[in-house]
């Protein structure tokens, strides 16, 4: 099996959960619709889907028309559904777009862990957290500078 032992797979899932938690803690701190547990489960779930997809590929390639590469595409559809549920419009304000985008990138991090791209997954998680924290004040400042009457606000 390309992924090695079941212990290695368990370690992959733990690592994916850890990376999801890095991002989820920031969202939880800001009391967003999707917080720590959501981000952990999205990242770990995507890693698990990717791992099982690859194992399926190894096991069934050439024997059936099974195409495990479609699983990653299915992940994106499912995450889009979850993300859409976090976006709300309240009066003149749209909330949840950043949360939806965070879930989307966290799913990609989970896929990267599932493919054993640990360094890339770790960098992506840290960079995502960096962007969420550092761009927030700049975004608020920019919105104040460019705010026009009736303009919709974003999360």
Residue by residue, pLDDT tens for the chain (155 residues) are 444 578 888 999 999 999 999 999 998 888 887 889 889 999 998 999 888 887 777 666 676 666 766 777 788 888 888 888 888 888 888 888 888 889 999 999 999 998 889 999 999 999 999 999 998 888 788 777 776 555 555 55
**Per the structure block, which two tokens stand in for 41?**
């489960």
Residues 110 and 44: beta-carbon distance below 8 Å = yes
The residue behind tokens 């985008």 is: 101
Rounded CA-CA distance 52/68 in Å is 9
pTM for the full predicted model: 0.74
**Per the structure block, which two tokens stand in for 111?**
């896929």
The b-or-e profile of 133-143 (16+ CB within 10 A means b, else e) is: eeeeeeeeeee
Residues 141 and 80: beta-carbon distance below 8 Å = no
Would you list the domain boundaries of the chain? 6-61+75-146
């Amino acid at each position: 099996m390309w992924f090695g032992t079941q212990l290695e797979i368990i370690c992959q899932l733990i690592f994916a959960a850890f990376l999801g938690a890095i991002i989820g803690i920031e969202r939880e701190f800001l009391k967003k619709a999707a917080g720590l547990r959501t981000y952990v489960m999205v990242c770990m779930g995507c890693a698990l889907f990717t791992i099982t997809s690859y194992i399926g590929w190894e096991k069934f390639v050439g024997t059936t028309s099974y195409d495990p590469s479609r699983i990653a595409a299915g992940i994106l559809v499912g995450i889009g559904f979850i993300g859409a549920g976090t976006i709300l419009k309240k009066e003149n304000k749209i909330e949840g777009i950043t949360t939806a985008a965070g879930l989307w990138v966290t799913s990609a991090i989970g896929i990267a862990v599932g493919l054993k791209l640990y360094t890339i997954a770790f960098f992506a998680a840290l960079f995502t957290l960096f962007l969420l924290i550092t761009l927030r004040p700049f975004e608020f400042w920019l919105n104040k500078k460019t705010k026009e009457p009736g303009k919709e606000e974003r999360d």
